[in-house]
DNA sequence: TTCCTTTTTTGACATTTGTCAAATAGTTTG
DNA sequence: CAAACTATTTGACAAATGTCAAAAAAGGAA
């Protein structure tokens, strides 16, 4: 239910849109450590996290790098793969037992046409995600590893408990040894 | 005219939308090195570059850091300021003589309401910009300074001639001394 | 051209972060 | 509980990049 209430905090959802959403979305469950999407496949779905925690990761020189986390009430997908319709270099994994709302991209396209008011929804969500990404870029580009870590603690305190050191390190763009040392420093 | 043709490459623009766009946009010109927007002001406008080159920059520890470039057929604004309606930490400057299309955010909001098909336009543009930003983040996060520079040469060759060393260095997240050394290396 | 200003390069050195290897701590499972 | 994993920490050192200062080069203006 949190999917609908999240959407209706952005635009008002008519009854007919609500039932359409009900038809095209599917609730899916994943267990802890289960793979949601593997590398190389096209990502055809948009996910919304109702419960649990996802991470996106990929490989860089044989090393697994966590690229994002998506927790409750956040969307997750490989946007690049979705929009460009190309294979995704990115995998998605459940870090906890998850309840996700799955929305196939093709259904989303139809939804945009059938319910044009959802375009607004799409735009507003994209704007918000863009701003978040911009903040993250500035953070990585101009802050030291220590500053980034402290920023992470402030902005995503709950993730500290729910993820591993190596995952956070990748997300912050540093090695886990460096992160371990930053932690020890205090 | 390139503004309209750029938009119509994304969605079809009806006559009435075209004349509405004509009413709400204004062509503005800036000279080389002229300031388009200063730091601390709210950014109320979206710009489209018809001719010339803009850069966005801000100050980090007293140092001026170029954050983005916008060349012909690209949009430019401080999205954060625009969407959050807060003062922008970012300034915009013309690096060359520029012809811009200026669209006030309030007019854009009305446009979204009056011509709902423009929501689609907004969404698609946001998606494309998001993907670009994502690529840039990955680049900065996991590539060496040298790799980033070579990437820049490949992806934005024309900007090499049109910008200064210091501006490129800031954009790549390195100091200009380092960039100078990378150049010398070859 | 010549002076003046700005941009770029170079040098010497400091700092940050990465790499690889090993030790320790923590968790899970039989 | 013990064995077997897995995650985290630590050490020694290397590599990348930053800092500050000065020199050289390039670009404009008188």
Å separating the CA of residue B164 from the C1' of nucleotide D25: 15
Site of tokens 């902005």: A155
Looking across all nucleic acid strands, the nucleotide with the smallest C1' to CA distance from residue B33 is C6
Domain count, chain B: 1
- The reply to whether residue A131 touches residue B65, judged by beta carbons under 8 angstroms, is no
Q: How far is residue A176's CA from residue A178's CA, in Å, rounded to a whole number?
A: 5
Does residue A154 sit within a domain?
no
Beta strand B26-30 with B98-104: parallel, antiparallel or unpaired? antiparallel
Do the Cβ atoms of A110 and B107 come closer than 8 Å? no
Mean pLDDT of A164-172: 96
DSSP string, chain B: -HHHHHHHTTS---HHHHHHHHHH-EEEEE-TT-EEE-TTSB--EEEEEEES-EEEEEEETTEEEEEEEE-TT-EE--HHHHHHT-B-S-EEEESS-EEEEEEEHHHHHHHHHH-THHHHHHHHHHHHHHHHHHHHHHHHHHS-HHHHHHHHHHH-HHHHHHS-HHHHHHHHTS-HHHHHHHHHH-
Does residue B92 sit within a domain?
yes
Does residue A47 sit within a domain?
yes
pLDDT at residue B29 in the model: 95
Site of tokens 């704007």: A127
Does residue A24 sit within a domain?
yes
Does residue B148 sit within a domain?
no
Does residue A81 sit within a domain?
yes
Do the Cβ atoms of B87 and B42 come closer than 8 Å? yes
- The reply to whether residue B126 touches residue A130, judged by beta carbons under 8 angstroms, is yes
Contact with chain A for residue B147, Cβ under 8 A:
no
pLDDT at residue B1 in the model: 64
Q: Tens-of-pLDDT digits for all 186 residues of chain B?
A: 699 999 999 999 999 999 999 999 999 999 999 999 988 888 889 999 999 999 999 988 778 899 999 999 999 998 888 888 888 889 999 999 999 999 999 999 999 999 999 999 999 999 999 999 999 998 898 899 999 999 999 999 999 999 999 999 999 999 999 999 999 986
CATH at residue B66:
2.60.120.10
Q: How far is residue A184's CA from residue A28's CA, in Å, rounded to a whole number?
A: 40
Q: Nearest residue (Cα to C1') for C15?
A: A144
Does residue B100 sit within a domain?
yes
DSSP string, chain A: -HHHHHHHTTS---HHHHHHHHHH-EEEEE-TT-EEE-TTSB--EEEEEEES-EEEEEEETTEEEEEEEE-TT-EE--HHHHHHT-B-S-EEEESS-EEEEEEEHHHHHHHHHH-THHHHHHHHHHHHHHHHHHHHHHHHHHS-HHHHHHHHHHH-HHHHHHS-HHHHHHHHTS-HHHHHHHHHH-
Report the residue count for chain A: 186
User: Which structural domain, as residue segments, surrounds residue B76?
Assistant: 2-111
Min distance B79 CA to chain A CA atoms (Å)? 7
Does residue A133 sit within a domain?
no
Nearest residue of chain A to residue B64 (CA atoms): A142
pLDDT tens per residue across span A72-112: 999 999 888 888 888 888 999 999 999 999 999 999 999 99
pLDDT at residue A186 in the model: 64
Q: How far is residue B43's CA from residue A44's CA, in Å, rounded to a whole number?
A: 36
Contacts of B119 in chain A (CB under 8 A): 116-117, 119-120, 122-123
């Amino acid at each position: 239910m949190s999917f609908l209430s999240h959407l209706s905090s952005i635009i008002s959802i008519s009854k007919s849109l609500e039932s359409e959403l009900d038809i095209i979305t599917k609730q899916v469950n994943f267990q802890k450590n289960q793979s949601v999407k593997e590398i190389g496949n096209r990502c055809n779905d948009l996910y919304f996290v109702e419960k649990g925690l996802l991470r996106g990761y990929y490989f860089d020189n044989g090393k697994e790098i966590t690229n994002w986390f998506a927790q409750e009430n956040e969307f997750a997908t490989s946007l690049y793969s979705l929009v460009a319709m190309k294979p995704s270099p990115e995998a998605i994994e459940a870090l906890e037992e998850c309840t996700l709302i799955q929305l196939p991209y093709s259904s989303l396209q139809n939804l945009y046409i059938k319910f044009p008011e959802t375009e607004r929804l799409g735009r507003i969500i994209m704007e918000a995600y863009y701003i978040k990404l911009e903040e993250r870029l500035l953070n990585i580009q101009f802050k030291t590893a220590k500053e980034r870590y402290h920023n992470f603690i402030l902005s995503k305190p709950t993730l500290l408990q729910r993820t591993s050191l190596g995952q956070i390190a990748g997300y912050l763009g540093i090695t886990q040894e460096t992160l371990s040392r930053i932690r020890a420093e205090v």
